[in-house]
Amino acid sequence: MFLALREIRAARGRFLLMGLVVMLVAALVGIVSGFTTGLGNDTVSALRALPATHVAFATGAKSDQFNRSLVDEATVSRWRQRPGVEAAPLGVTITRGTTDRGLEIDMAAFGVEPGTFPAPPVRRGTGLDAVHPGLVVSGKLASDGVRVGDVVTVDRLGLKLPVTGVTDDLSYGHVPTAYLPLDTWRAIRFGIPGTRTAADQLPRDASGVALRAKAGADLAAADRALGTLTLPMSKVLEAAPGYKGERVTMSSIQVFLYLIAPLLVGAFFAVWTVQRAPELALLRAIGASRRRLLSYTVLQAALVVVAGTIAGGALALATGLLLGAAVPFSLPAGTLLATLGAVALVGLAGTCLTLRRVTTPDPLTMLGASR
Amino acid sequence: MSLSLSAVTVTRGHGQTLTPVLRDFNAKFVPGEVTALVGPSGSGKSTLLAVAGALLSPDSGAVDLDGTDITRLSDRERTRLRRARIGYMFQTGNLLSALTATEQLLAATYVAGEGTRRHHARAVTALEEVGLGDRLKHRPDQLSGGERQRVALARALFLDPRLLLVDEPTAAVDRSQADAIAELITDRTRAHDCVTLVATHDPTVIASADTVINLDAAP
C-alpha cells in the first residue's frame, strides 16, 4: 500500500485519466446492461410472468409463434387430458384501442380463460370474468392514464371493453399487456373490421397452450400425438417479436466492451510499467522481491479499476434515473453488481497481461557495469 | 563481518568476443574502512561491485560474506541478502520519483516487509545525520544532485547493512558537493562499522579512502 498510494499520488493526472476511462467503460457497460434488461422486460415481461413451464404451439409455426400459431379447441382439450400436465389456452395478439376519455392506447391482448393459471394477478380492481367481459390492464397502461372504470373501444372492430382491473407492469413486444377472456380475444383476433361476428361464428382457436408440466411428464409423446410443438419458457421468450435480435445486438455491444476494457487497462499499465522500469530495477537492486513488485502493481490496478468501476456504476444508475420511464431501462442491483464485477475482473485481467514486465527489469542496470 | 573474494572471474560477450572483465580477482575487506576501486572505464569496478553485491554471479570463484559463499545462493536468497545486509548507492537514479526524502528511507523498510510507520522518527534522524533535516518532505526533483546522493546514502545505511557498495557517488555533483559526499561516506562507514567499496574516478574520494585497489593493475 505504501508505494502504491504514493505513486498514484505523484502521478495522479495519469491515474485520474485512466480512472475516467475505466469509469466511462463501466458506465457504458452498465447503461447497455440497463437497456438490455429494460428492452428484455419490455419485450417479454408478460411471458416471464406467465406461471407456465412450457407453451405448445401448432407444428407449422417455426418462428414468431404467437403470431403464426393457431391451436384448436380439441387440441387444448386433449392436452388437458395428458397426465402430469396442467393446460390452458392462451391467445396473444397486438391491437389498439381508445378509452372513453379519448386516450389512444396500444395493447398486447392476452386472451385467457378466467380462473385458469395464465389469468393475471390483480393489483387494483377485479379480475377477469367470463360473464361480464372486461380488461385487466398492465400497470404500464395505468401509468399512461388508463383507469379502472374506463371503457376501451377496440379500433376497427368497435368492441367496447370496460377496464376492470390493473395487474403488474407487464408488456409483450414493447407493448403493454391487457388481459381479457379468451372469447373476447377471439373476437379481436378473428373479427372482420366493420362487422360484428357472432361468437359462435368465430374460430375456437388460441395462439397456443400454456402448460404446467410436472417432472417426468412426457411432452414429446404428447407433441407427437397431438401435432404440436412444445417449447420450454426459455425458448418461448424467443417467440416474442424482436426479442432474439435485441438480445444478440445488446449482447454483442457488451461483449465488445468487455474486450475493450482489459485492452485499455492493459495498455495503460504496459506504458506505466515501461515508464517506471528504472525504478523497478532500483527496487529489485535494493532487495524488493518479485512478489512485492507484483503485489503493489496489482494493488494500484485494483484501486484504479475498482474506483473507476464504482464511479461508472453510479454514472449508469444516474443515467437510468435521468431517463426515467421515457425509455425501457432497468438496472436492478443484482444486474448492476454482476456487470460491474465483470468489468472489474476483465480490467484486472488486462493488468495481468503486463505483469511479466514488472518483474523483468534487471537490477544490474543500476550499476555502471551494464551502461 | 567479513567480505572476501577468491579467484573471482567474470567474462563478458560470447565466442570470439569473450572478454575477461575480472580475472582471478582476490581481495579481503575490513569493516569500518572505505576501499576505493579505481581504474579506467571497463576495468571492472562496477562489475566488482555487482559481484560483491549479489547482483551478478561470477563465472568462477567465491564471494564470502560472513561465512556464506553468496555465489551459491539462489536468486531468491540473493534478493533477501541484498535487502537485509547490503546497502547500495548508485551513480544516478537512486531515488523513487514519487517519494519524499523521508519516504525514500521508509521504502527500504517497506521492501524489507517491516512496515513504515514505526521507522518514521528514525528516518528523520538519519536524514538529519546527512545534513538534510530541512529537506524531509522534498521529492527528488526538488533536491540538488548532492542532496539526492545524501538521501541515497542515508537509505543505503538505514537498515544498518554490513556491506555498503557505492558506484561513482560524485560523478553527477559539483566539486564542493563531491568533497562533502566523500567525507560523509567515510564518516558513515566508521559510524556503522560496515565494509564500504566505492567505485570512483574522483581524486577526493580516492584520497579519503583507507585502501585503494587499482583494477587496471589487478592480475
Of B45, B110, B139, the CB nearest to A3: B110
Contact B51, B5 (CB under 8 A): yes
Q: Find chain A residues with C-beta within 8 A of B90's C-beta.
A: 282, 285, 366-367
Q: 10 Å Cβ neighbour count for B218?
A: 17
What is the per-residue pLDDT across A205-215, written as a single tens digit (0 to 9) for each?
Answer: 999 999 999 98
Q: Find chain B residues with C-beta within 8 A of A2's C-beta.
A: 103, 106-107, 110, 116
CB–CB contact B97 A279 (8 Å):
yes
Of A283, A288, A367, the CB nearest to B46: A367
How far apart CA A134 and CA A178 sit, in angstroms, is: 10
What is the per-residue pLDDT across A29-87, written as a single tens digit (0 to 9) for each?
Answer: 999 999 988 888 889 999 999 999 999 999 887 778 888 899 999 999 999 999 999 99
In this predicted structure, what is the pLDDT of residue B142?
A: 94
DSSP letter for A199, please. Answer: G
| Mean pLDDT, rounded, of chain A | 90
Q: Which helix (H) or strand (E) holds A97?
A: strand A85-99
- Return the bridge partners of A348, or none: none
Q: Which helix (H) or strand (E) holds A332?
A: none
How far apart CA A307 and CA A309 sit, in angstroms, is: 5
What is the per-residue pLDDT across A110-123, written as a single tens digit (0 to 9) for each?
Answer: 999 999 999 999 99
The single residue listed with the C-alpha cell 585497489 is B213
In this predicted structure, what is the pLDDT of residue A371?
A: 41
The DSSP bridge pattern shows strands A160-166 and A135-137 to be parallel
What is the per-residue pLDDT across A155-199, written as a single tens digit (0 to 9) for each?
Answer: 888 889 999 999 999 999 999 999 999 999 999 999 887 777 777
Is residue A251 scored above 80 in pLDDT? yes
Q: 10 Å Cβ neighbour count for A361?
A: 22
Q: Find chain B residues with C-beta within 8 A of A290's C-beta.
A: 79
Q: Which helix (H) or strand (E) holds A316?
A: helix A290-323
Q: Find chain A residues with C-beta within 8 A of B139's C-beta.
A: 10
Burial of A55 (0-12, 13-18, 19+ CB in 10 A): buried
CA-nearest residue to A293 within chain B is: B111
Is residue A325 scored above 90 in pLDDT? no
What are B85's three cell numbers?
Answer: 545486509
In this predicted structure, what is the pLDDT of residue A361?
A: 82
In this predicted structure, what is the pLDDT of residue B217?
A: 60
What's the start-to-end Cα distance of chain A, in Å? 32
DSSP letter for A339, please. Answer: H
* CA-angle at A11, arms to A7 and A17, nearest 5°: 125
How far apart CA A68 and CA A45 sit, in angstroms, is: 20
CB–CB contact B50 A9 (8 Å):
no
CA-nearest residue to B84 within chain A is: A287
Q: Find chain B residues with C-beta within 8 A of A4's C-beta.
A: none
Confidence tier at A369 by pLDDT (50, 70, 90):
very low
Q: Hey, which residues 5-44 in chain B have their CB within 8 Å of chain A?
A: none
User: Going residue by residue through chain B (219 aa), what tens digit of pLDDT does each one get?
Assistant: 689 999 999 988 777 778 888 889 999 998 999 999 998 888 888 899 999 999 999 999 999 998 889 999 999 999 999 988 999 998 877 899 999 999 999 998 998 888 888 889 999 999 998 888 999 999 999 998 889 988 998 998 888 888 999 998 888 778 888 888 888 889 889 988 999 999 998 898 899 999 999 987 655
Residue B90 amino acid letter: F
DSSP letter for A365, please. Answer: G
**The most confident of A149-153, A361-365, B92-96, B153-157, by mean pLDDT:** A149-153
ipTM of the complex: 0.89
How far apart CA B127 and CA B143 sit, in angstroms, is: 13
DSSP letter for B15, please. Answer: G
Residue B206 amino acid letter: I
Q: Which helix (H) or strand (E) holds A200?
A: none
- Residue ranges in chain A assigned as alpha helix (H): 2-10, 12-48, 65-68, 73-80, 139-144, 182-190, 219-226, 233-238, 243-275, 277-285, 290-323, 333-352, 355-359
CB–CB contact A366 B139 (8 Å):
no
How far apart CA A36 and CA A15 sit, in angstroms, is: 31
In this predicted structure, what is the pLDDT of residue A113?
A: 94
Closest residue by Cα to residue B110 from A362, A269, A293, A365: A293
Q: Find chain A residues with C-beta within 8 A of B83's C-beta.
A: 286-288
Residue B81 CB partners (closer than 8 Å, separation 6+): A287, B54, B65, B70, B73
Mutate to test the interface with B, among A289, A367, A371 (most CBs of B within 10 A): A367
Contact A114, A128 (CB under 8 A): yes
In this predicted structure, what is the pLDDT of residue A114?
A: 93
CB–CB contact A283 B96 (8 Å):
yes
